[in-house]
């Protein structure tokens, strides 16, 4: 068996750490080519010493000098590179077989797209990249022959429940609709008025999953499910109206596909991202992920209920942006990133998040997408709009 060379974009994050855990269980299959980090330099250093990648990529030259010196002292030959061009370089280098795209937010778009354009096996965790650039991203996958495998647990589940020729079109393979499950986040059982005073700590305390801060807040506001609706519509070429969101508090059924004959196929498992990561690394084979077997008897019950649109306006905003198309989803994503950051910095309240997003969407009418530069420009403008509005109102 030949060894696959893997680049992990966002190695120091939650998905990055889980990816390295799975990789380290299979040294005969995977070797690390590059690791990237942004602020957690000690973690990146430890990862370099453990995995001995050819390259590490950091955000600025001060970080690079310090890390390079420490690695040299430890007799580690990893070369430290800097900045977004270097991220693109390690995502698209000829030697690389697999790229885990696990940078959070719009910052991941360029390197993820570079991996796609270079025709890599791309393991997509960075949903914001696809939400921002939808049609352009999927066209690049087609043009380059990249193998795109979803890491988001719901999309990985749907991928597992679809037939292998699903690209022929959902109606051609007998799919009626997709049921996207959602834990509902930490505030699923609260009433609307209580949401006004929730703190970043409460928002980040997810009941079932351990994740980075941004996606944790998105889960609490259910914008995560909104972004996932958009992500699913691009990955599987389905209309947003064919995707139903179902609250499933146990996070054991990771999503379902409803077929025209009445069959509903689901994927189940413990809520641990190493399962989708191992699946995507080895596909079409299966490898050990380190995840313990699902004990259905201790889970005992599986509940399902509809989301409350009053409590979670982000769901409506995401659906509207998905229906509007063009640049609307890039605007939605940018405004959400600004709002989440402001919430985490305690500048705004939790219920202000959808207000800022809605205002930004109203200010920026959707345009049809021309190219990547157009998307990046839209992203910048939407961030400025959201930030200016935030500065003048809070």
Query: Which residues of this protein are in contact with ligand NDP, per CB under 6 A?
Result: 10-16, 37-40, 102-104, 107, 125-128, 152, 209, 211-215, 273
In the bound state with ligand NDP, the residue whose beta carbon lies nearer, of 123 and 390, is 123
Q: Do the Cβ atoms of 61 and 82 come closer than 8 Å?
A: yes
Residue 249: contacted member of ligand NDP, Mg ion, none (CB under 5 to 8 Å, by partner type): none
Residue 238: contacted member of Mg ion, ligand NDP, none (CB under 5 to 8 Å, by partner type): none
The Cα–Cα gap between 394 and 382 comes to: 18
* Shortest Cβ 8–ligand NDP spacing (Å): 9
* Shortest Cβ 185–ligand NDP spacing (Å): 13
In the bound state with ligand NDP, the residue whose beta carbon lies nearer, of 9 and 317, is 9
Residue 212: contacted member of Mg ion, ligand NDP, none (CB under 5 to 8 Å, by partner type): ligand NDP
* Shortest Cβ 343–ligand NDP spacing (Å): 15
In the bound state with Mg ion, the residue whose beta carbon lies nearer, of 14 and 153, is 153
The Cα–Cα gap between 180 and 276 comes to: 16
Residue 150: contacted member of ligand NDP, Mg ion, none (CB under 5 to 8 Å, by partner type): none
CA-only gyration radius of the chain, Å: 20
* Shortest Cβ 55–Mg ion spacing (Å): 29
CA distances to 222, 301, 348 from 295, rounded to whole Å, are: 28, 11, 41
* Shortest Cβ 160–ligand NDP spacing (Å): 15
CA distances to 34, 184, 233, 372 from 226, rounded to whole Å, are: 32, 12, 11, 23
Instruction: Name residues whose C-beta falls within 8 Å of residue 189's C-beta, 6 or more positions apart in sequence.
Output: none
Residue 12: contacted member of Mg ion, ligand NDP, none (CB under 5 to 8 Å, by partner type): ligand NDP
In the bound state with Mg ion, the residue whose beta carbon lies nearer, of 336 and 387, is 336
Binding positions for Mg ion, rule: CB under 5 A: 152-154
The Cα–Cα gap between 291 and 212 comes to: 19
Q: Where are the alpha helices (DSSP H) in the chain?
A: 14-24, 41-51, 61-73, 83-92, 109-117, 127-144, 153-161, 200-204, 213-221, 223-235, 274-282, 296-299, 313-324, 328-344, 352-363, 372-393
* Shortest Cβ 59–ligand NDP spacing (Å): 6
* Shortest Cβ 374–ligand NDP spacing (Å): 21
The Cα–Cα gap between 55 and 53 comes to: 5
In the bound state with ligand NDP, the residue whose beta carbon lies nearer, of 82 and 173, is 82
The Cα–Cα gap between 226 and 215 comes to: 12
* Shortest Cβ 183–Mg ion spacing (Å): 9
Please give the residue whose beta carbon sits closest to ligand NDP in the complex: 13
Residue 215: contacted member of Mg ion, ligand NDP, none (CB under 5 to 8 Å, by partner type): ligand NDP
Residue 356: contacted member of ligand NDP, Mg ion, none (CB under 5 to 8 Å, by partner type): none
The Cα–Cα gap between 321 and 327 comes to: 9
Please give the residue whose beta carbon sits closest to Mg ion in the complex: 152
Give the residue among 222, 155, 135, 157 at the shortest CA–CA distance from 187.
222
Residue 15: contacted member of Mg ion, ligand NDP, none (CB under 5 to 8 Å, by partner type): ligand NDP
CA distances to 145, 185, 253, 298, 394 from 301, rounded to whole Å, are: 42, 18, 11, 9, 44
């Amino acid at each position: 068996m030949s060894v696959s060379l893997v680049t992990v974009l966002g190695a120091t994050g939650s998905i990055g750490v889980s990816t390295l855990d799975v990789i380290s269980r299979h040294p005969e299959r995977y070797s690390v080519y590059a690791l990237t980090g942004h602020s957690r330099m000690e973690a990146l250093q430890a990862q370099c010493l453990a995995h001995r990648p050819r390259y590490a990529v950091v955000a600025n030259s001060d970080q690079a000098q310090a890390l390079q010196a420490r690695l040299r002292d430890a007799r580690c030959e990893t070369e430290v590179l800097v900045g977004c061009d270097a991220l693109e370089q390690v995502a698209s280098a000829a030697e690389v077989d697999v790229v885990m795209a696990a940078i959070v937010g719009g910052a991941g778009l360029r390197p993820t797209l570079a991996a796609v354009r270079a025709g890599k096996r791309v393991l997509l965790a960075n949903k914001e990249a696809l939400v921002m650039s939808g049609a352009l991203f999927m066209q690049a996958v087609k043009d380059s022959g990249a193998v795109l495998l979803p890491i988001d647990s719901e999309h990985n589940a749907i991928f597992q429940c679809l037939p292998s020729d699903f690209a022929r079109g959902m109606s051609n393979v007998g799919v009626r609709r997709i049921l996207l499950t959602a834990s509902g986040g930490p505030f699923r059982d609260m009433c609307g008025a209580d949401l006004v005073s929730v703190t970043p700590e409460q928002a980040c305390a997810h009941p079932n999953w351990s994740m980075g801060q941004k996606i944790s807040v998105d889960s609490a506001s259910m914008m995560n499910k909104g972004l996932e609706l958009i992500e699913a519509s691009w990955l599987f070429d389905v209309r947003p109206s064919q995707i139903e969101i179902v609250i499933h508090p146990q996070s054991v059924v990771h999503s379902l596909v409803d077929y025209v004959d009445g069959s509903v196929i689901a994927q189940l498992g413990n809520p641990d991202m190493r399962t989708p990561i191992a699946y995507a690394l080895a596909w079409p084979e299966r490898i050990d992920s380190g995840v313990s077997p699902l004990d259905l008897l201790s889970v005992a019950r599986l509940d399902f209920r509809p989301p409350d649109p009053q409590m979670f306006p982000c769901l409506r905003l995401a659906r509207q942006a998905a229906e509007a198309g063009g640049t609307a989803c890039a605007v939605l994503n940018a405004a959400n990133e600004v709002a989440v950051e402001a919430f985490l910095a305690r500048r705004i309240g939790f219920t202000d998040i959808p207000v800022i997003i809605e205002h930004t969407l109203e200010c920026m009418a959707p345009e049809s997408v021309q190219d990547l530069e157009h998307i990046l420009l839209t992203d910048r403008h939407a961030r400025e709009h959201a930030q200016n509005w935030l500065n003048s109102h809070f």
